[in-house]
Amino acid sequence: MIIVTGATGFLGSHMVCSLLQAGHSVCGLKRNKSSLQEFNYIFSYRFEKLNDQEKTKLLQALSWRDGDLNDVLSLEEVFQLADEVYHCAAMVSFHAKDQEQMNHVNVDGTANVVNAAISCGVKKLCYISSIAALGRTKSGQLIDEKTHWDESPNNSNYAISKHKAELEVWRGIEEGLNAVIVNPGVIMGIGDWNKGSANMLKMVAKGLPFYSTGVNGYVDVEDVVKASVLLMDKNLFAQRYILVSENISVKDFFETAAKELGKKSPYIKVNKLLAEIAWRLMALKKILTGKQANITKETARASLNQYFYNNQKVKDAIQIDFKPVKQTIAEACKQLILQQNQSI
């Protein structure tokens, strides 16, 4: 039995689908009020070529259990069933007001997962971290798994929470837990178009005029799943691995998406002054309307920085060939257009 935390989210849903496809029995851990909408959408997309009987057979190997990362008893109850755990659940926010809750979920929640895994005798744990947890000291830096974490204003509250969560996993490893950590870049793929990386494509579809000079690492969601499973299968524990297909600029990302969506490429370059104005205007808009800001101080400033990630370690370990970012964008844009046409 394989347990997947955050199984109703973007990454967790793809993880569950891949494990089911490989013939595993899977238990998806979710909060009792979590919606299955995104999972059902991703499941339908991933298995659209199967008939109803084949889909039903896959779903027979999936069970759902209610639980919470901060409810130790609920975790231990579920983990009693587990041979392996993929810890995908996390809170992602770049709003200052969410810092305390994000630490509660990402740091305390991961500590609880590690403790439950140890006490219940889980054989293997894969923690899905982030490249943000590697630290971002200065723009233009080449980052690999040995990059030392330094306190820096370039580290977002999310990055700090993931770094601290990783420390809990390393602590578990010291206590005898077989665990591996993966650090994905910005994860792209088919999911809920109203949040996360998929929402960036929806913004382009609406005619996004702005671009920045920032550079970041990107990766296809199915490659994140594939690499995580291969690392677990090969028992490559007590290691961390960067999962990035390519380092590309924000400008190239948006231009590729605009071309695939038949939209005009962004044409207004965002400099430091415009970035500072933008997050302040968004903050004012939130005060006046109550609507969550799309741009925050953290995201505005991060959009100008350039970070490059070295993926050689994971390539050497499992001989993975990452899907090109442009292919991932093209596939996601095609699905977005299809969904928009169906909703008309």
pLDDT digits (tens, 9 = 90+) for 228-258: 999 999 999 999 999 999 999 999 999 999 9
In this prediction, residue 279 has a pLDDT band, given cuts at 50, 70 and 90, of very low
One-letter amino acid at 318 equals I
Query: What token pair was written down for 332?
Result: 């996601």
Work out the burial of residue 251: count CB atoms within 10 Å of its CB; fewer than 13 is exposed, 13-18 middle, 19 or more buried: middle
State what percent of residues in the chain have pLDDT above 70: 90
- Predicted confidence at residue 68, as pLDDT, reads 92
Residue 294: pLDDT over 70? no
pLDDT digits (tens, 9 = 90+) for 315-327: 999 999 999 999 9
List the one residue out of 304, 269, 311 whose CA is nearest residue 140. Answer: 304
pLDDT digits (tens, 9 = 90+) for 75-101: 999 999 899 999 999 998 887 888 999
Q: Report, as an integer, the average pLDDT of 301-325.
A: 91
Residue 117: pLDDT over 70? yes
Of the two residues 179 and 281, the one the predictor is more confident about is 179
Taking each helix axis from N to C end, the angle separating 10-21 and 221-233, rounded to the nearest 10 degrees, works out to 50
Annotate 250-261 with DSSP letters as a single string: HHHHHHHHHHHH
> Domain map of the chain by residue range?
2-192+216-245+307-324
Is the alpha carbon torsion for 156, 160, 165, 167 positive or negative? positive
Domain 2-192+216-245+307-324 has CATH 3.40.50.720: yes
- Predicted confidence at residue 303, as pLDDT, reads 72
pLDDT digits (tens, 9 = 90+) for 190-224: 998 888 788 888 888 988 888 888 899 999 999 99
Is the alpha carbon torsion for 104, 105, 106, 110 positive or negative? positive
- For 321, other C-beta atoms within 10 Å of its C-beta total 9
List the one residue out of 8, 82, 2 whose CA is nearest residue 43. Answer: 8
List the one residue out of 106, 125, 108 whose CA is nearest residue 117. Answer: 125
Mean pLDDT score across all residues of the chain: 90
CB 88 within 8 A of CB 9: yes
